[in-house]
Structure 1
Amino acid sequence: MNQDRILITGASGQLGTVLTKKLQEKYGVINVIASDLRLDSNFKGIFETLDATDFDAIQEIVSKYKITQIYHLAAILSANGEKYPLNTWDINMKTFFNVLEISRLNAINRVFFPSSIAVFGDNIDRIDTAQYSNLTPSTVYGMSKVTGENWSKYYFEKYGLDIRSIRYPGVIGYQSLPGGGTTDYAVDIFIKAIKNENYECFLNSSTTLPMIYMDDVIRATIELMEAPKEAITVRTSYNLAGMSFDPAQLTKAIQKIYPDFKVSYNPDFRQKIADSWPMSIDDSYARKDWNWKPKFDIDAMTRDMVKNLKIKFSDKSMSC
């Protein structure tokens, strides 16, 4: 029986809420310790209130529960990060350094660090962006992720810390509200459609970006963490691809279910961020090293999003 004890920082976020449940199913509720600044009222399991900038607080949890794996999800995302750039840098880097050092000192078996397509800048081939492209990001969030990737490689080579990472595309899921990212339109647009409201998009209609459905994200993350150590050849962060589309294409997919749904466009500061990112991703290293393959395309994702959001909003209306 697997005796791993897992700590998740940032467990109340968009990705953390879903990943926590999946890890609970896989490893058992008593072996997964979720942590964040605040407890979600719907959470079930073991939860520790944690400010991940506090080294001693993380150390206390690691010792208390005899943690063997850490999924470090706590971070300020791209769009919100640009509002307070220095604070974003301080929080994203301090929390990660705390996790790295605690993992080294406590001989943690395995660490997960999420990176992002935000690591790329505008001096790349935006079609099928390669694993080892230039990394000159346009946001502080992206800068923190590039730095985190390099520190991950350093801790692996210097101390043997088995830290693994994925460059996430835009993540789309029905389970929680968006957390301040540039690709959040692809979640907001579904919520408006379900509510029979029109949507004003903050990106141009033709802004193609790489996206991935939450189910594929969670599966990819766990598959990477369970892959044999000798199979991992990328010690910065793996490119990961799901699907690529623009707001107009997503609108058409939604209109197959809601024909009267309308979208207008009013680009804001996030347009410049999106224009510096890839349009599609070459994830051949992930496919080769740990057999990654996405299951959801735009139509399958749209059907599943609509189905689950309808259930979610129906449940809310009945509980009021």
Structure 2
Amino acid sequence: FIFVYHILSLFEGGLGQLGVGLAQMLREQYGKENVILSDIKRPPADVFNMGPFVYADVLDYKNLRELVVNNRITWLVHYSALLSAVGEANVTLARTINITGLHNVLDLALENCLRLFVPSTIGAFGPSSPRDPAPDLCIQRPRTIYGVSKVHGELMGEYLHHKYGLDFRCLRYPGVISATTKPGGGTTDYAVQIFHDALGSGHHECYLRPQTRLPMMHISDCHRATIEFMQADECQLSLRTYNIAAISFTPEEVAAEIRKHVPQLTVTYKPDPVRQNIADSWPMRFDDSNARRDWGWKPAYGLPELVTDMLDRVQNKRTNAGLPVS
């Protein structure tokens, strides 16, 4: 979670790929004491020292309510979820966290008149959806529990907005690429791991076929889109759930771009049936024209800029950790 108060926000699931960076950006705008990061894990020392952190379990409604009431929370960012490949390995746990946890958050937001942001995903689409590009409104019918839970969240949020006026906002994220955290079990995570492998062993074994095209985004674009969307005036929004897009590439395309900087990189392909089937059911590109029109969304990173930045960040990270850099 991320909690925001006056504006005070609570981030739950805040130690994942997205939470820490978004909390930092919000703290720069609203003051570090006005943004509370939370998770069920012990935070690293640097994250703990960055600003307020609390333990929060998305399945513990009483504790969440106490946090919201005692801290006078006004915004809630809900990042707690099991991702696609991990969710398929443990459907029962994914259903509990992704759906039961979501209902706790929805009830909490309604009860306390919170502004609620819940991310959705490329995984909310399925094999019968338009793939190139996928529009905001179309047949979805995903085939993973992760995707099913996200469609459920989109529709529940929209329903509660129309019935009770809940300020629910949702962005469908593409694959998000970041150097700050380890891959977390998503189908697009090869696009993070390949940078670590390029500067480490010099070899990457990819679990997708080389021509598998998926929409991707640099994490700073993802954070900026989230904040701009959260701050957008209600009157600007024609939807409660929007696609956001930046770039779309295949494993062989990103490998070719990396080789402009690390010529010795080699890549072999060993498609994993579970992840490949998931990727084949997802859009190749997002149509985000509504986000661009309604609240002015525009990405800053293309593929060359993303690759240059990721290599710099991963190299610095490896150097600081005393790891060799190829």
TM-score, with normalisation over the residues of structure 2?
A: 0.95
Structure 2 alignment gaps of length 5 or more: none
RMSD across aligned C-alpha pairs, in angstroms?
A: 1.1
Trace 1:219-238 onto structure 2 (pairs within 5 A). Answer: 219-235=224-240, 237-238=241-242
**What displacement does 1:127 show?**
0.7
Q: Which residue in 2 is equivalent to 1:204?
A: 209
1:98 and 2:104 aligned: yes
Q: Which residue in 2 is equivalent to 1:13?
A: 16
Q: Deviations over 1:275-299 (max 9, x none)?
A: 0000011101100110001110111
1:286 and 2:287 aligned: no
Q: Deviations over 1:158-211 (max 9, x none)?
A: 111101000000000111111110000000000001114311000000000000
**What displacement does 1:243 show?**
0.3
Whole-angstrom distance in 1 between the partners of 2:42 and 2:168: 27
Q: Which residue in 2 is equivalent to 1:262?
A: 266
Amino acid in structure 1 at the alignment position of 2:18: L
Whole-angstrom distance in 1 between the partners of 2:320 and 2:28: 23
Whole-angstrom distance in 1 between the partners of 2:231 and 2:22: 14
Q: 1:264 aligns to what SS in structure 2?
A: strand
Whole-angstrom distance in 2 between the partners of 1:90 and 1:38: 18
Q: 1:248 aligns to what SS in structure 2?
A: helix
Whole-angstrom distance in 1 between the partners of 2:249 and 2:24: 29
1:80 and 2:86 aligned: yes
Q: Which residue in 1 is equivalent to 2:126?
A: 121
Q: 1:14 aligns to what SS in structure 2?
A: coil
Trace 1:294-309 onto structure 2 (pairs within 5 A). Answer: 294-309=299-314
Q: Which residue in 2 is equivalent to 1:4?
A: 7
Trace 1:213-252 onto structure 2 (pairs within 5 A). Answer: 213-235=218-240, 237-252=241-256
Among candidates 179, 188, 192, match of residue 183 of structure 1: 188
Whole-angstrom distance in 1 between the partners of 2:92 and 2:141: 18
Whole-angstrom distance in 2 between the partners of 1:54 and 1:215: 31
**Would you say how many aligned residue pairs link Structure 1 and Structure 2?**
315
Amino acid in structure 1 at the alignment position of 2:248: S
Among candidates 138, 147, 155, match of residue 143 of structure 2: 138
Amino acid in structure 1 at the alignment position of 2:22: L
**What displacement does 1:124 show?**
2.2
Whole-angstrom distance in 2 between the partners of 1:63 and 1:52: 16
- Preserved CA contact (<8 Å) 2:243 2:286: yes
Q: 1:105 aligns to what SS in structure 2?
A: helix
Structure 1 alignment gaps of length 5 or more: none
Q: 1:222 aligns to what SS in structure 2?
A: helix
Q: Percent identity?
A: 42
Amino acid in structure 2 at the alignment position of 1:32: V
**What displacement does 1:125 show?**
2.2
Question: Which consecutive aligned stretches of 4+ in structure 1 deviate over 2 angstroms post-superposition?
Answer: none
Q: Which residue in 2 is equivalent to 1:89?
A: 95
1:163 and 2:178 aligned: no
Among candidates 46, 68, 75, match of residue 74 of structure 2: 68
Whole-angstrom distance in 1 between the partners of 2:27 and 2:101: 24
Whole-angstrom distance in 2 between the partners of 1:304 and 1:6: 29
Amino acid in structure 2 at the alignment position of 1:177: K
TM-score, with normalisation over the residues of structure 1?
A: 0.97
Among candidates 20, 30, 35, match of residue 33 of structure 2: 30
